[in-house]
Structure 1
């Protein structure tokens, strides 16, 4: 990966996460995360952010939704899920992996989530962006206790995430 020409101390002002959930498995397994029960977290720049919005009912089959942290936030508890507090910068981003982690509900540890694709765009204080992706093509991925709870994202370039 080529070196990033921006200064390491440049702060992150927002993070947009676009998540697409696939449909049911041929055996009928629904593969959805139920609102208020299972959780999905983005790990980036040395901390985790909870992907939860009041206007959405979890990650339902065929959902295509965007979660914004920091400037322009649309997530629950935006003050707690803000990369500006405490400040995160590009050095933090370089030192830590970027991943999405699924936590099944405690009363349904057998629940699985059928993830289709994840795109993350990090906006820097200077206005530039960095992008990450997981599952950019076929196949999709099942997350759960029997298949693994985490998927790591790869850096892919300065492409913005379109709203979902």
Structure 2
């Protein structure tokens, strides 16, 4: 096993009315939670495609080949870093991966179109997490998250992005 040096979380908010949120969104992976917030206020705007970078700067070897995503460093990067404490790729097999919505403020819901995560190790190896039920852009291929109908979406390992 090897040290995790970077996590890239590509989050796409649905491009439908009312999909946006200003609430807190978290990524759970490798046994801890990370706050996915750049501080811009537009990370989860309707139709937004944001790639949150945690840990080491720089692009990933296989970043999914998707266009339209805006790369951002998370706010409070020092505290949202998989190197503090140092996480290991072995941790990826121990704890479930997920996206968690924590409704706050005036917008208590969010419509998530897609969430894909790439974890990179110090050896250059990459691990990919996704929920393939969200592939596509049909209404039944997105999920509304809310305190009354669920706040968490599980992600699982996939072999290709």
Secondary structure of the 1:78 match is coil
Identify the residue that residue 63 of structure 2 maps to in structure 1. Answer: none
Give how far 1:82 is off. Answer: 0.3
Give how far 1:39 is off. Answer: 0.2
Give how far 1:136 is off. Answer: 2.6
What are the residue-to-residue correspondences of 1:56-95 with 2, within 5 Å?
Answer: 56-72=41-57, 74-95=73-94
Give how far 1:128 is off. Answer: 1.2
CA change 1:151–1:50 in 2 (3 A) is same
CA change 1:136–1:154 in 2 (3 A) is farther
Q: Is the 8 A contact 2:43 2:50 kept in 1?
A: no
Secondary structure of the 1:92 match is helix
Give how far 1:158 is off. Answer: 5.1
For residues 138-164 of structure 1, the C-alpha deviation after alignment (integer angstroms, 9 at most, x for no partner) is 4110000121000001211254xxxxx
**Greater share of residues in strand:** 2
Normalised by the length of structure 2, the TM-score is 0.82
Measure, in 1, the Cα distance between the counterparts of 2:149 and 2:54: 28
Unaligned runs of 5+ residues in structure 2 are: 58-71
- Flag the structure with larger Rg: 1
CA change 1:56–1:44 in 2 (3 A) is same
1:32 to 20, 45, 54: 20
Secondary structure of the 1:153 match is strand
Identify the residue that residue 47 of structure 1 maps to in structure 2. Answer: 32
Q: CA RMSD in A?
A: 1.6
Give how far 1:51 is off. Answer: 0.3
Measure, in 2, the Cα distance between the counterparts of 1:56 and 1:65: 12
Unaligned runs of 5+ residues in structure 1 are: 1-7, 160-164
Kindly tell me the number of residue pairs found equivalent between the two proteins: 142
